[in-house]
Structure 1
Amino acid sequence: MSLCVWLVEDDRDLRATLREVIEVEGYRVITSATLADAQAVLTHAGAGIDLVLLDLGLPDGEGEAVLALLRRERNVPVIMISARDDDGQKIRLLDAGADDYLVKPFSVGELLARMRVALRHRGTRLQAAVTHYQRNGLEIDLAAHRVALHGETVHLTPTEFKLLARLARSAGQVVTHRQLLTDVWGNEFVEHTHYLRLYMGQLRAKLEADSAEPCLLLTEPGVGYRLMEPGNAG
């Protein structure tokens, strides 16, 4: 099951960029843009969060208030992100329970490394992210957000790509209907298995030589779906 990262960031462009790169690393991401949003997430979905990226300056308050709530209720790693480079503030927040403090602008590589460190310090076992897949002429490059078939780019919708990427990260393994629906559409869609049938049909039409007899995107009846393990053979 994918680890869940909660990103609390009010800058829309930065939030979208960070969400995309974090998802490429195999994490499931939920987002909030305001203090009010964050408080609602804590009330309704906080139990499943594995790591928090928390912007200090939110439009309706300070991220420090979210940190205080988290530390009263949960022992989850928290990385503060802020444009404010003030040693006193860093010390205060670290003393208040933050695991790390990252000053904007920062590189994506540094953020991902600090996330891995924070998770390891809490005893979470991490596996290397799968970012590339190749078999039978199908090539998936998650980092570049590119899918090609026999060298030709295949154009997927955002949802099609997200579903294929989730299967690629677990290539060779069955991913249950519930897990796919949760990771691609969200917790509120776990009963909507017709979404999976529709989108799997669309993916097969674009990626399989014969969509009626798929050899890459396989159905495990009553359980879920599986993308064949990487390799050159069919």
Structure 2
Amino acid sequence: MPRILVVEDDPAVSRVVEYALEGEGMEVEAASSGGEATELLEGERPFDLVILDWMLPDTDGLTLCRMIRSSGSGVENVPIIMLTVRDDETSIVVGLEIGADDYVTKPFSPRELASRVRAHLRRRRARSAPQSETLKFDGLEIDLARRRVFRGEEPIRLTNREFEILAFLASRPGEVCDRERILRHIWGGSFYGEPRVVDVHVQHIRHKIEPDPENPRYIQTVFGVGYRFTER
């Protein structure tokens, strides 16, 4: 049974989310503050996904999201869905930049939220399925099974989304992939936002893997279309 953490300080919203997810056969724990959420995340029983409100009484969702992603305690790879009343592009991009996997704006449909949760859980199970392939390029190695990337001997730390985008492009060397196709593959149709978020993630990947991010060697821009991974 999937175990979900809902971090929301509005009791009415929290109850709606709990009811929707429990109706899908999920186990739900609720926290009304960042401190309470941190205690639950540090407990012995792991969570499969976190639903995180943007505004909390003792912190903000962005700070808590950043903490989860940098914790190094085993929870840093859990999918995170942000709940927010902010639907402007800048806020969405900021949330995705610091490690959120998805966002849902308030007011929201409980059925849509449950659908997105199921989609992220399916992708998490797919990511944990055994894979034996390691992609090797000149100066770069991508271990799909362990979700690890090396530039030479140096390990490179990527977020979940960054790794998935890199693996998607590197698995198709020479093929031009447009932004909408990348969005559909990585977010599975659950993201209804600005394709520019792909550009943001690619920019971060380049700064981590490229010898010269301003003159990318691996991920090249195909202007007006998208991106292409090159083996040169």
What is the TM-score with the length of structure 1 in the denominator? 0.50
1:77 aligns with 2:79: yes
Alpha-carbon distance in structure 2 between the residues aligned to 1:124 and 1:66: 26
1:44-63 mapped onto 2 (5 Å cutoff): 44-45=43-44, 47-63=45-61
The match for 1:22 is 21
> How far 1:42 sits from its partner (Å)?
2.1
Alpha-carbon distance in structure 1 between the residues aligned to 2:113 and 2:16: 12
Alpha-carbon distance in structure 1 between the residues aligned to 2:3 and 2:126: 12
Per-residue deviation, residues 72-103 of structure 1 (Å, max 9, x unmatched)? 23211100001111211111111211110110
Segments of structure 1 that go 5 or more residues without pairing to the other structure are: 126-234
- Aligned residues with identical type, % of pairs: 37
Alpha-carbon distance in structure 2 between the residues aligned to 1:105 and 1:17: 11
1:124-139 mapped onto 2 (5 Å cutoff): none
SS in 2 for 1:61: coil
Alpha-carbon distance in structure 1 between the residues aligned to 2:12 and 2:37: 18
1:6 aligns with 2:2: no
SS in 1 for 2:28: strand
The letter for the 1-side match of 2:20 is: V
Alpha-carbon distance in structure 2 between the residues aligned to 1:61 and 1:86: 21
Note if contact 2:41-2:47 (Cα within 8 Å) is conserved in structure 1.
Answer: no
SS in 2 for 1:92: helix
Alpha-carbon distance in structure 2 between the residues aligned to 1:36 and 1:3: 23
The match for 1:168 is none
Alpha-carbon distance in structure 1 between the residues aligned to 2:59 and 2:99: 19
Alpha-carbon distance in structure 2 between the residues aligned to 1:93 and 1:121: 20
Note if contact 2:50-2:79 (Cα within 8 Å) is conserved in structure 1.
Answer: yes
The match for 2:63 is 65
The match for 2:183 is none
1:118 aligns with 2:116: no
The letter for the 2-side match of 1:64 is: L
Match for residue 108 of structure 1 among 107, 110, 124: 110
> How far 1:120 sits from its partner (Å)?
2.0
The letter for the 2-side match of 1:17 is: V
> How far 1:22 sits from its partner (Å)?
0.9
> How far 1:64 sits from its partner (Å)?
1.1
- Tell me which structure has the larger Cα radius of gyration: 1
What is the TM-score with the length of structure 2 in the denominator? 0.50
The letter for the 2-side match of 1:38 is: A
Segments of structure 2 that go 5 or more residues without pairing to the other structure are: 128-232
SS in 2 for 1:17: helix
1:40 aligns with 2:42: no
SS in 2 for 1:123: helix
The letter for the 2-side match of 1:12 is: P
